Amino acid sequence: MAGRREFGVPGFAVPGFAPWPREGGERRRGKLLRSKVPRETHAAFEPPADRPDVVRAVEETNAGRLPELVPIRVGRMTASPFAFLRGTAGLMACDLAATPVSGVTAQLCGDAHAANFGLYGDARGRLVMDINDFDETVPGPWEWDVKRLAASLVLAGREGGAGETACRQAAFDAVGSYRRTLRVLARMPASEAWHAVPDAELVTFADAHELTEVLRGVAAKALRNTGARFAAKSTARAPDGSWRFTAAPPVLREVSDVQARAVAASLAAYRDTVPADLHPLLARHSVHDVAFRVVGTGSVGTRSYVVLLLDRREEPLVLQVKEARPSALLPHLARAGFAGPGPVAHEGRRVVLGQQRMQVVSDILMGWTTVDGLPYQVRQFRNRKGSVDPAALLPGQLDDYGRLAGALLARAHARTADAALLSGYCGRSEALDEALAAFAVTYADRSEADHAQLLAAVRRGRLPAETGV
């Protein structure tokens, strides 16, 4: 076989595969980027001159949401500066658009704050740990995710009563873990790096042993947090023998027959977005009921439904059909020199594909559909999900959690950006860790000032707020 090829021809040129020979080393390319954007420059933050008024920014993000739920959203954001940050991914993207970037693109979570990492079940019900919220996912500058994580750790620590040294250390350690994880991945064969850092080894890999007991408790709760358990608590048998959700307003409420039929009918289109080998599994379930359910802080006010399906043994499968709005980061990417993904054919598809690109293991039943002309993502509801509340951690645990989250974020970014390229830029020294820790403290101060403005607007009656929901 070797004799059939012309001597000296270096491999084959195949579209979709890397050329051979490669032009230079990716690590070297990353190092060269430092001369254009020194790592120390990431420490600085000045609000851009055209930064919108905080209240106006919140009002703009409320556009298109269900008006009766907006007070719940605002009320949740008033709880703390950390809660405010969680609800304002777009405002932070506006701020980050004016900060330095190295020019390397990765698939972004888009909302990589410290509370968006957690446990969930794989296809066999075993727990894995990863980023778990992708509403804002879009290709963009990797620095944005890292900076959002670092700033959120400072705010979470402050909310939990940690001192400034501990808060800054958590941000510093998160960036250091991100940087070191990239170095590990860059030294591995591509196929091994793709599934590297197994979940069973995460705590040891990230040197997060102080979290062992915390994670054990979260895992125990996550294993019980299933759609079946939700259905057992939230449904009752109707006179016709079918099962129906029982309303628990304002979080869980009934919908009209017209709306229920529209959501149920959309599952036919959703089925076509799920791999064909799973069609027989879906076909063994019948749709019984649809209800509206309020979702988390950043998504409150969007349309979100739970759908009850039962198999022939009346064992439940609960799907969430959640409205997918355009990424809040999209308007700000061009200002940072990134072209963005171009026109998005379907926002639900954007979320699902972004999630699959970043997670090592994803929900096998993820898909997308359209209801009344609006795009939705579809996924299993309460798929053994569990998360650590970073604001409830002890100061000695916060830096461990930062290292764990930093490692997970690096693993996710390395699936779409070359780990060697990123590692070359981040380097061996702690220069980037120091810079981003300084940024995190400065941006946390900015978020606290923004939160104070939000509280003042609520007190003046400019924004309606309903707390405790």
What is d(CA 270, CA 321) in angstroms, rounded to the nearest whole number? 10
**Stated pTM of the model:** 0.95
**pLDDT band (50, 70, 90) for residue 199:** confident
Complete DSSP assignment for 196-259: -S-GGGHHHHTT-GGGHHHHHHHHHHHHH--HHHHHHHHEEE-TTS-EEEPPBTTTEEE--HHH
**Does pLDDT of 341 surpass 80?**
no
Higher pLDDT, 193 or 279: 279
| Strands 374-380 vs 243-245: parallel, antiparallel or unpaired | unpaired
* Crossing angle of helices 142-159 and 164-186, rounded to 10°: 150
pLDDT band at 9 (very low <50, low <70, confident <90, very high): low
d(C-alpha 267, C-alpha 369), whole Å: 7
Residues 423-462: tens digit of each pLDDT: 999 999 999 999 999 999 999 999 999 999 999 999 999 9
In the sheet that holds 367-371, the strands lie side by side as 252-254, 286-293, 304-310, 316-323, 374-380, 367-371
- Whether 203 shows a pLDDT value over 60: the answer reads yes
Residue type, 229: R
DSSP secondary structure letter of residue 188: S
Mean pLDDT, rounded, of the chain: 93
| Residues counted in the chain | 469
Question: Hey, where are the domains in the chain?
Answer: 22-195+207-223+389-460
Query: For tokens 């970037």, what's the residue?
Result: 101
Nearest residue to 78 (alpha-carbon basis) of 462, 454, 459: 454
Total Cβ atoms within 10 A of residue 361:
16
With residue 141 as reference, give the H or E element that holds it: strand 138-141
For residue 148, which of 124, 174, 129 has the smallest C-alpha distance?
Answer: 174
Confidence of residue 195 (pLDDT cuts 50, 70, 90): confident
Q: Work out the number of other CB atoms within 10 angstroms of the CB of residue 226.
A: 20
What is the enclosing helix (H) or strand (E) of 81?
Answer: helix 81-86
Q: Which amino acid is at 400?
A: D
Q: Is the pLDDT of residue 280 over 90?
A: yes
Would you state the pLDDT for residue 5?
55
pLDDT confidence tier of residue 12, bands split at 50, 70 and 90: confident
pLDDT tens-digit profile of 363-395? 999 999 999 999 999 999 999 999 999 999 999
Q: How far does CA 247 lie from the centroid of its chain? A: 29
Q: Which residues contact 99 (CB under 8 A, 6 or more apart)?
A: 42, 44, 45, 143, 147, 336, 439
Q: In terms of C-beta density within 10 A (0-12 exposed, 13-18 middle, 19 or more buried), how is residue 49 classed?
A: exposed
